[in-house]
Amino acid sequence: MEDDKFQVVIHHGGHFVNEEGIKYVDGQRSELSCDEDIWSYFEVLYILREIGYINVKDLCYLVGGCPVLGERLRHFVDDVGALHMVQIAKQRGEVHMYVIHSICVVVEVHMLEYYPARDNSEENTGVENDTEAEAVEDLRNEAKVESKANVLRNEVEV
């Protein structure tokens, strides 16, 4: 079944520039032998994920007949393009596909301070030694007693 195979040249990792015509620069070139029976748009996305391109922005393939690269590129967005690529490969021996991928940017988040959750059994009194802690505890107890006394006064008046 070698007749069902065709060659795809994948240009990836680079970008297009317009310097005396459109060129694909700073990229890599990979060649694949593909089965035309399973070749589809989603198969291409799967292959690109296997290569490491998860965030593909656009795909283009090269058609012949024009001397300028920009006029020979077609967007590859569906299985109609996949079938067209198979026809081109059978006529010319190979088809060229260009990958335009989004660049993932790492965002660093700097934490200013981290305060872990406290156990409710420990209460922060804001004091540094035992003498101050006892004084604070006495004030709290006095406040509780006064609060209860106010509640009792209000009940008696009613």
- Return the higher-pLDDT residue of 152 and 7: 7
What are the boundaries of each domain within the chain? 2-101, 125-158
Digit-coded pLDDT (tens) for 32-58: 999 989 999 999 999 888 888 888 888
Q: If pLDDT is split at 50, 70 and 90, which confidence band does 130 have?
A: low
pLDDT at 146 over 70: no
Looking at CATH, the fold of the domain delimited by 2-101 is given as: Ubiquitin-like (UB roll) (3.10.20)
Instruction: Please write the tens of the pLDDT for every residue from 62-120.
Output: 887 555 566 788 889 999 999 999 999 999 889 999 988 776 555 666 666 656 666 55
Predicted pLDDT at 1: 44
Check pLDDT > 60 for residue 2. Answer: no
SS (H, E, C) the chain: CHHHEEEEEEEECCEEEECCCEEEECCEEEEEEEECCCCCHHHHHHHHHHHCCCCEEEEEEECCCCCCHHHHEEECCCHHHHHHHHHHHHHHCCEEEEEEECCCCCCCCCCCCCCCCCCCCCCCCCCCCHHHHHHHHHHHHHHHHHHHHHHHHHHHHC
| Residue 141, burial from CB neighbour count under 10 angstroms (0-12, 13-18, 19+) | exposed
Name which residue leads in pLDDT, 73 or 128.
73
